[in-house]
Structure 1
């Protein structure tokens, strides 16, 4: 909304900043602050200094994106909007709570999020373009590390490397048949109009979406389990229920809510067949037998993994667990599954644990596991021999930040900037915002040609 348009509606928007010919309104700052609070984002400093400066920098990047003809695909933006809306509904409890928090209907919330996410993606694309040539050589990393003051060398907490072998207890056919019978009953009740799908999902579904009546929100095909997507995208009647679908998480029935191109919103009810104590005991016994044979040196842990382990992520990798956060084999203790962390805590390097029961992190199902502690790295100050990848990442991050900072501050110098009274008394991150001869009541023409 421009000031003229606002005036025509008898509403005069308070402008906090001008960047070239682009205003930053107080309402825009408030909306951003509200969104950051809903996302539980950290704000270091006074939000009424930090947020307008971030918005100003964002405008510089967006203008550059226009010059460079950089665009973000609409479907990518809308997928991220859907994920954010789903997150808000899950955390605030309902669509109504989201609307109350933002004080506007959900379509308006989606529109606000769409603009914010698109702008954020454009900023990332420009920054990526500016820093694409940053590639650290070993000499770069060594010089960077040697330049760090001793008290700035990061402390690396205790880390471990762990190999794992797992067995999925056999679930009796009777248990699977009972689960399917329950799902067929729910589907029949909905199809006959005797029950409401969302009510049944609240009462019986074993998925986290049950609190929302089984609703998943708009999701792209690629982000759904393949078996689920194949059935869901073939649904056309919003009053009917799908056939039973099996995925790695269990058994589902699905109801279509709405399709939007390559995205779909569905409800589902998930039931997981239960593993009996008898089945768990049998799996524990089998894995303990394998352990005894390893200890008797009939074969090694690594040799047994491909033939015994049913963990898809590790059975072709000698059982080596990989930290998805940094794509290395090292874990801080808090990054491991809780059951693994408890077992590993008292183990020695090379030791093999006894079998234990744990929850499969992906499927939320009881499985039996056995682990080998292959390495323990005590907490220490980072060094080149043990922590090269960490130091390399720090160097590249520092180099990229330096390039972006210099670019931003040159843009600030070349761009008309005016900060209104009441918004100027800040310790800004970037230099050059407060310019000589440009006051809040300056009548100078704005130079909207940003290089």
Structure 2
């Protein structure tokens, strides 16, 4: 489950799975009972306690190293995955996945892998901001999940994120140096039975030109003046957080009073980080501009390499005249491309306002694969409708669109530079895809070998019905 894009149904499972304890577990092998004193009230509430103060093991699905996994944890994760329609899954599949993650996290701690708690705190802050934005307020979020305080929510999410990131660090360390050679890629492809060679779905290569309305000096100055007035009010004793809630156009942080926690390594734009790390606690910056708009920022607290800041973001108004001017500009550009007066590439280099694609002639790169091809069935639905009927090198009509972060209007035209029909994979034509599959298989083999070796050296116990799962044979020591 990807917590950066988590929705509310997944959040339910994630919050409840926080009761997976990280305390050291002691099991009495003689009577197969757990000591009551080992566990938190949440765990005891989910299990059965005997008269002599021991916990029956039938409420515990498995123990992996320092981690205990409850049957209820597996049930909740299973139901949420079913609700999310994550393919065909069984309780055994879910149990194995959770146990594997606990094994990775356990050994990451044992191996003292480099781990930054500040990264966890920063990610948790971003999560909470996202959740609050989804439900409307912190009070609604706490009420819905029956959690008393924001600190309690933060503590639970920190525990979840710590375990997840530890597991990711361990897996990364296992496969960090795994590489694939062209010879190995060819061997992998040639080892696939002919009737099992993968089918490559319809793919396209795309390019686009974007024209954004220009912000006038009058509108820019109006934003700077408004931010300066906010700054003056705060310096005179007003509340920065209240002004952020009322006026900031940053949807992600507005509901929490503009609060953001960050480190120098976090992926914020340079101007924002420069302001965050140049101020002392309590200081307020003067208005400054980033690619997202104009900000003022104050530092709430400095904690080593991590800072808690609050900011207010405003976007300059775009005049109707500027919008009309941008529309006419891209219509003229499109007409010249269609008439053959200029190539799409040259036009993109000359007029496109998209920095990432301008120099490549507007060519889009698939971030998932690193190459130019986009599988048509997996493409963004909004883009799919714009390109599905285009022929190669045909230019779309002018498309009016809005930026996700700012909701500001811009205009674009798209062309399909190449269409690749559905076909059985060929080594030369689909080398990038085949290499990706070969590398994934090699990494999986490396991880499976690591699991087999380290499961032998880790205290693992599987209980109840989960002993009958196929995977349990390799986890239970004979």
Could you tell me which runs of 5 or more consecutive residues in structure 2 were left unpaired when the two chains were aligned.
1-22, 26-33, 45-53
2:324 to 281, 288, 296: 281
Q: Provide the aligned C-alpha RMSD in A.
A: 4.0
Q: Deviations over 1:85-114 (max 9, x none)?
A: 444444454444554527464444444444
Distance across 2 between alignment mates of 1:344 and 1:43: 28
Alignment partner, residue 231 of structure 1: 275
Alignment partner, residue 384 of structure 1: 427
1:374 to 417, 422, 428: 417
Alignment partner, residue 311 of structure 2: 268
Report SS of the residue matched to 1:331.
Answer: strand
Distance across 2 between alignment mates of 1:265 and 1:29: 33
Give the drift of 1:374: 0.7
Distance across 2 between alignment mates of 1:267 and 1:119: 28
1:41-440, aligned counterparts within 5 Å? 45=89, 49=92, 53-62=96-105, 64-65=107-108, 68-100=111-143, 101=145, 103=147, 105-132=149-176, 134-148=178-192, 152-193=196-237, 196-209=239-252, 212-221=255-264, 222-236=266-280, 238=282, 241-333=284-376, 340-361=383-404, 364-413=407-456, 417-420=460-463, 422-429=464-471, 431-436=473-478
Give the drift of 1:388: 2.0
The range that moved more, 21-30 or 205-214, is 21-30
| Contact in 1 for aligned 2:269/2:290 (Cα 8 Å) | yes
Give the drift of 1:235: 4.1
Report the TM-score when normalising by structure 2: 0.74
Alignment partner, residue 6 of structure 1: 37
The range that moved more, 367-376 or 308-317, is 367-376
| Contact in 1 for aligned 2:466/2:472 (Cα 8 Å) | no
Could you tell me which runs of 5 or more consecutive residues in structure 1 were left unpaired when the two chains were aligned.
437-451
| Contact in 1 for aligned 2:124/2:154 (Cα 8 Å) | yes
Alignment partner, residue 24 of structure 1: 68
The structure-2 alpha-carbon separation of the partners of 1:72 and 1:28, relative to structure 1 and needing over 3 Å to count, comes to farther
Number of residue pairs the alignment of both structures matches = 431
Q: Deviations over 1:372-429 (max 9, x none)?
A: 3211223344333432212221122122212322332344456554334x35354243
The range that moved more, 337-346 or 317-326, is 337-346
Distance across 1 between alignment mates of 2:263 and 2:71: 32
The structure-2 alpha-carbon separation of the partners of 1:173 and 1:89, relative to structure 1 and needing over 3 Å to count, comes to same
Q: Deviations over 1:250-273 (max 9, x none)?
A: 122334433323323333332212
| Contact in 2 for aligned 1:207/1:214 (Cα 8 Å) | no
Distance across 1 between alignment mates of 2:40 and 2:340: 83
The structure-2 alpha-carbon separation of the partners of 1:431 and 1:389, relative to structure 1 and needing over 3 Å to count, comes to farther
The structure-2 alpha-carbon separation of the partners of 1:113 and 1:161, relative to structure 1 and needing over 3 Å to count, comes to same
Distance across 2 between alignment mates of 1:18 and 1:425: 9
Report SS of the residue matched to 1:80.
Answer: helix
